[in-house]
Amino acid sequence: MKYYKLNTGALMGLTTIKIDDVSAYTISVQKEGMLRADTYNIEIHMNSGTIFTTNMDEAKLLQWEELFFLRRFPNDEEE
């Protein structure tokens, strides 16, 4: 079982979610201009119907996607 900690919601409280309980996620790019790196608004949809919202930089997004896809597709043969 893998868990992931992230800041969620309007108050940006620290939430720990179990990766196995995530059914989908949506990414929206927030352009920050030429001087700042883009950020990513993420909606994480849980199997229970709960939706968490968070904001990530590119490094955290890559870490999240690596965890999510390693769980869903351990090797290319399952796709």
Domain locations in the chain as residue ranges = 3-78
The letter for the amino acid at 49 is G
pLDDT in tens, 36-48: 888 999 999 999 9
- pLDDT at residue 25 is higher than 70: yes
- Identify the CA nearest to 17 among candidates 30, 8, 27, 28: 8
Nearest to 22 by CA among 79, 71, 77: 71
> Taking Cα atoms as reference points, which of 65, 64, 70 lies closest to residue 15?
64
CATH code of the domain occupying 3-78: 2.30.29
Residue 79 has pLDDT above 50, yes or no: no
Q: Rounded to whole angstroms, how far apart are CA atoms 36 and 31?
A: 9
Give the pTM: 0.75
Mean pLDDT of the 15-41 span: 89
